[in-house]
Structure 1
Amino acid sequence: MAINDPSDPIVKTFAVKPKLKPTSTKSSPPETKYWESFRPKETQTLVSSITSLAFSPSHPHHFAATHSATVTIFSSQTLQPKSTIKDFKDVATSASFRSDGQLLAAGSHSGSIQVFDVKKRVALRTLREHTRPVHFVGYPRVDKLHLLSGGDDAVVKYWDIVKGVKEYDLIGHKDYVRCGDGSPASDDMFVTGSYDHTVRVWDVRVNKGSMLTVNHGAPVEDVIYLPSGGLIATAGGSVVKIWDVIGGGKLLYSMEKHNKTVTSLCVGRIGTDSPNFTDQSRILSVSLDGYLKVFDYSTLKVTFSKRYPAALTSVAFSPDCSTRVVGSANGVLFAGKRKTVGKVEPVKGEWGNYIGFGAVDEPEKRVLRPSYFRYFSRGQSEKPSKGDYLIMRPKRVKLAEHDKLLKKFHHKEALVSALQAKNPENVVAVIEELVSRKKLMKCVLNLGTDELGLLLGFLHKYCTVPRYAGVLIVLAKKVVEYRVDDINGSDELKVYVRYLKRLVVEEIRIQESLQEIQGMISPLLKIAGRR
């Protein structure tokens, strides 16, 4: 019997275990961990190739994607479609948000440029000066009144969007203008790239020609300013080049890490979670080879690379360093969102552009909404400072019954209502208002017996009061004259008139006595004045 015979009851058999491979003690670099932390959520498949991606500069930094004849705006929190604009007659291109995030401009293959209100999704302007498809539309970094555009007619146009008219035609390119970007140093400077292999720097303050021209050596697909404003990055063919604009267009570096045409560039920033980074800005490039590459232009090295299962056509990075979006040629949107440790807020530079981001240790505060009680009670405990103005909301005046009736032009009812309230000031005020409207005697003629009794009783009680005598004595005379027949036919009204006559007689007697007293006192006052 063989020694290793498994049928032998003495021999024990054991399962064979695979040999363990030695684990690597090397950990991923901090920057690699950072870029891998953008975990892709559920991808969104759009109708056709995604021609451009753009983030809104204002919070909460929603982003727009152009595809087919549509611009879709996505929520930066859920990465799901928020609204859709379908006012284009042809393929939409190059979406661009204004600096306040309220307006969105996009070009199209029809040659027109549409300017939309983001909230209402209504086209405010339609600019139709280009004769060929428009591939580049962009707002300056801070300027809200102007717009840049470039198209296949090889012309760069500078627009006044308030008037909806073209200000300048900038001539210089000899082939399709496919890309451009505004300078972070000045709203009057911008750069454009063309299929004539050149990149031109323009300044609308100096003249209508380009200030600087550099030759990329291949059709230029994209060009961006770097945050300093003195460098630009260009993409053409499979190469990304960095140029010194201030130094006269000197070529600083050429990155040849892609295998196919580089289609889009953007500037990405690294959050300040790790203190190991000396320069926070990176260049993100995507290509038809399906690769996303992150290039650190301070060390001239590619620090991160990721392969996607499709040819890539566009890339964008959110200003708050929380979202990275990549668009592909087959309409798939690869959106990755990163969990931030603290609240990350953009820091504005000298020219108002976002140049840095700082992490705050405090937890993110809950956004107050109109459905919360604290939304309406906020600020009530704040004490005003010297420069504050206290604005009080005017109190709503509560109208009396006679005021409401006067407002409805019910004149007789207003007079009766005031008489029934027995407030002499209100009654006299209503009488004066009816006099100004020339309706008082008409109301007196339309009064019934009981209502006329109310008026005569009021006149008997207050017509000799000095404050009201000037109005009421004249009214009493008119009432007796106009309603003499009604008074003679009613014993109750005769009583009121009798009382009124007795009051008038008594008032005349008092006035005569006062005149006698005045006649005796006047000579004495004259004699006293002479002494």
Structure 2
Amino acid sequence: MAVGDRSEAIVKTFAVKPKLKPTNKKSTSSPESKYWKSFRPKQTQTLVSSITSLAFSPTSPHDFAATHSATVTIFSSKTLEPKSTIASFKDTATSACFRSDGQLLAAGSYSGQIQVFDVKKRSVLRRLPGHSRPVHFVSYPRVDKLHLFSGGDDSIVKYWDVSSETSICNLIGHKDYVRCGDGSPASDDMFITGSYDHTVRVWDVRVSKIASMLSINHGAPVEDVIYLPSGGLIATAGGNIVKIWDVIGGGKLLHSMESHNKTVTSICVGKTGINSVNSTNQYRILSVSLDGYLKVFNYSTLKITSSTRFPSSLMSVAFSPDCNTRVVGSANGVLYAGKRKTNENIESVESEWGKHIGFGAIEEPEKRILRPSYFRYFHRGQNEKPSKGDYLIMRPKRLKLAEHDKLLKKFLHKEALVSALKAKNPENVVAVMEELVSRKKLLKCVSNLGVDELGLLMGFLQKYCTMPRYAGVLIVLVKKVVEHRIDDISGSDELKGYVRNLKRLIVEEIRIQESLQEIQGIISPLLKTAGRR
């Protein structure tokens, strides 16, 4: 090879890549998405029927209760296994709520009766019969230990004195089934209820024991409603929409989230647990739906930060106050509990396992001292994982070059083109052609091809020259090949056949393009007219 040729070319130390092929960018995940992914859902229990509600105890260790069929089951938040079962209901249990001290549990049922239980003894302390139809929600105020409020299919909201088992007042205003409610974090005398009459009502028993203070129209049957931690905002779920309202501003709609495909059945407030300057920015709205999705919504930025798919329709969701456990209940009785992985959890599991087998804490064996006479001395540290803040120096990966890349590296241009043509990979062939164009060697390679090699090239051009992806490069090359090798083409019947086929394909392509231009000429005035309207 001449010295001039070597100076004109650039030595290739890497594989030729097609420029026309799009590259896939690696998706970067935010710290918050990693946080929600750390709650890996695990099918912990299959209950008898649909899990209608889930509730966490506000006191440590934050056990949770699940209502299903005619039973309330209390689960341990540490082991995610059942601790106790309450089965004193005559009909389907629909709702459960812990008192602020976690010692009592209230639950409603289809029989219309509300029962208050001692969590440890599982005994019934109070029975509150007053609803004539099924009770769908029961809730304690946030701090008050003496009162309850409830709602049911009789369209009545009741405010109870638990100690005397009497109804203090009947709050009338809803015109259809009352399905949900929540107590205000700002005052124990205020709460909200949602109904199938599409409305959410705000009640204050200090002001009025008859009428509601505020009525909000959600626009669909309300399945769930919650107060947000500030106390001035509420979130409502109905249809496939979750809406956020400003109660202090007179029930002004702030945002509408329409990310679910089917009815949203339950919502709750969760906390990210990620360190933040503003603690209010840590709260999120968790919503579940009959479409099987769990969505996490950041209502400060109005964006969905996480989405998890479950194999069945979802009916209820709850999040522990210590941000370590997330529980989802499904329509087929499957309970999905996810516990966040932390170093403390891992240590507690190891210690519990050690106690279980009777040996106490597991002692690590002493490490042998490595001496320079040992072979492993010279390989020490190679399998150690880097800690945070370490600067990693990675070994360059050894590239496996294809045959045409090796030939390009040796400046064997014609041989590289023929090798790529024989491999029959159009992306690699076009990439080699583009590289030869940049080296100004493509036409020289075409001139030096033998008759058989020229047949390979003509066959490739016939097959791919009209493909939109390669047409910009190959149609120009077709013209140059015919001009430079006209003598060889006229002397070979096979090459003449390639040229005839190329001419027919190009004529057909021109006809298609003209037809498309005619269609564009017809559509363009119609689009302009529609845009003016």
2:159 alignment partner, SS class: strand
Residue of structure 2 equivalent to 1:321:
323
The counterpart of 2:224, out of the listed 222, 225, 231, is 222
Residue of structure 1 equivalent to 2:312:
310
The counterpart of 2:237, out of the listed 235, 238, 241, is 235
- TM-score normalised by the chain length of structure 1: 0.60
Residues 44 and 81 in structure 2, CA contact (< 8 A), matched pair in contact too? no
2:213 alignment partner, SS class: strand
Q: How far, CA to CA, are the matches of 1:186 and 1:251 in structure 2?
A: 22
1:214 alignment partner, SS class: strand
Residue of structure 1 equivalent to 2:335:
333
Residue of structure 2 equivalent to 1:437:
none
Superimposed CA distance per residue, residues 401-460 of structure 1 (whole angstroms, 9 cap, x where no aligned partner): xxxxxxxxxxxxxxxxxxxxxxxxxxxxxxxxxxxxxxxxxxxxxxxxxxxxxxxxxxxx
Cα offset for 1:30? 1.1
Check if 1:140 corresponds to 2:141. Answer: yes
Matches within 5 A, 1:356-435: none
Cα offset for 1:339? 2.3
1:61 alignment partner, SS class: coil
**4+ runs deviating over 6 angstroms:** 274-278
Residue of structure 2 equivalent to 1:395:
none
Superimposed CA distance per residue, residues 16-64 of structure 1 (whole angstroms, 9 cap, x where no aligned partner): xxx9x97744321111100000022342100000000000000000000
Matches within 5 A, 1:77-476: 77-208=78-209, 209-272=211-274, 279-341=281-343
Cα offset for 1:340? 3.4
Residue of structure 2 equivalent to 1:493:
none
Q: How far, CA to CA, are the matches of 1:225 and 1:42 in structure 2?
A: 29
Q: Tell me the amino acid that sits aligned with residue 257 of structure 1.
A: S
1:104 alignment partner, SS class: strand
Residues 132 and 151 in structure 1, CA contact (< 8 A), matched pair in contact too? yes
Q: Tell me the amino acid that sits aligned with residue 159 of structure 1.
A: W
Q: Tell me the amino acid that sits aligned with residue 292 of structure 1.
A: L
Q: How far, CA to CA, are the matches of 2:50 and 2:314 in structure 1?
A: 9
Structure 1 pair 67–278 and aligned structure 2 pair: CA distance change class (3 A): closer
Residues 287 and 311 in structure 1, CA contact (< 8 A), matched pair in contact too? yes
Residue of structure 1 equivalent to 2:521:
none
Q: Percent identity?
A: 77
Q: How far, CA to CA, are the matches of 1:27 and 1:233 in structure 2?
A: 30
Residues 276 and 282 in structure 2, CA contact (< 8 A), matched pair in contact too? no
Q: How far, CA to CA, are the matches of 1:47 and 1:267 in structure 2?
A: 27
Q: How far, CA to CA, are the matches of 1:112 and 1:277 in structure 2?
A: 40
Structure 1 pair 298–123 and aligned structure 2 pair: CA distance change class (3 A): same
More helix by share: 2
Q: How far, CA to CA, are the matches of 1:256 and 1:63 in structure 2?
A: 29
Superimposed CA distance per residue, residues 45-101 of structure 1 (whole angstroms, 9 cap, x where no aligned partner): 000000000000000000000000000000000001010000000000110000000
Q: How far, CA to CA, are the matches of 1:338 and 1:58 in structure 2?
A: 19
Q: How far, CA to CA, are the matches of 1:278 and 1:110 in structure 2?
A: 40
Q: Tell me the amino acid that sits aligned with residue 110 of structure 1.
A: S
Residue of structure 2 equivalent to 1:43:
44
Residue of structure 1 equivalent to 2:420:
none
**Paired residue total:** 330
Residue of structure 1 equivalent to 2:381:
none
Give RMSD over aligned pairs.
2.4
Residue of structure 1 equivalent to 2:371:
none
Consecutive unaligned residues in structure 1, runs of 5 or more: 1-18, 344-362, 368-531
Cα offset for 1:164? 1.1
Q: Tell me the amino acid that sits aligned with residue 136 of structure 1.
A: F
Residue of structure 1 equivalent to 2:464:
none
Residue of structure 2 equivalent to 1:65:
66
Residues 30 and 274 in structure 1, CA contact (< 8 A), matched pair in contact too? no
Q: Choose 1 or 2 for highest CA Rg.
A: 1
Structure 1 pair 210–277 and aligned structure 2 pair: CA distance change class (3 A): closer
Q: How far, CA to CA, are the matches of 1:273 and 1:231 in structure 2?
A: 23
2:207 alignment partner, SS class: coil
Q: How far, CA to CA, are the matches of 1:287 and 1:42 in structure 2?
A: 18
Q: How far, CA to CA, are the matches of 2:198 and 2:343 in structure 1?
A: 43
Cα offset for 1:277? 8.4
Structure 1 pair 308–42 and aligned structure 2 pair: CA distance change class (3 A): closer
Q: Tell me the amino acid that sits aligned with residue 125 of structure 2.
A: L
Q: How far, CA to CA, are the matches of 1:228 and 1:88 in structure 2?
A: 36
Structure 1 pair 135–123 and aligned structure 2 pair: CA distance change class (3 A): same
Q: How far, CA to CA, are the matches of 1:161 and 1:154 in structure 2?
A: 21
Superimposed CA distance per residue, residues 123-157 of structure 1 (whole angstroms, 9 cap, x where no aligned partner): 00111000000001000000000001000000000
Q: Tell me the amino acid that sits aligned with residue 236 of structure 2.
A: T
Cα offset for 1:272? 2.7
Q: How far, CA to CA, are the matches of 2:40 and 2:101 in structure 1?
A: 28
Q: How far, CA to CA, are the matches of 1:231 and 1:320 in structure 2?
A: 22
Residues 139 and 183 in structure 2, CA contact (< 8 A), matched pair in contact too? yes
Residues 241 and 251 in structure 1, CA contact (< 8 A), matched pair in contact too? yes
Q: How far, CA to CA, are the matches of 1:75 and 1:278 in structure 2?
A: 29
Cα offset for 1:275? 7.2
Q: Tell me the amino acid that sits aligned with residue 189 of structure 1.
A: M
Structure 1 pair 196–333 and aligned structure 2 pair: CA distance change class (3 A): same
1:39 alignment partner, SS class: coil
Q: Tell me the amino acid that sits aligned with residue 328 of structure 1.
A: S
Residues 56 and 101 in structure 1, CA contact (< 8 A), matched pair in contact too? yes
Q: Tell me the amino acid that sits aligned with residue 284 of structure 2.
A: R
Q: Tell me the amino acid that sits aligned with residue 302 of structure 2.
A: L
Cα offset for 1:312? 0.3
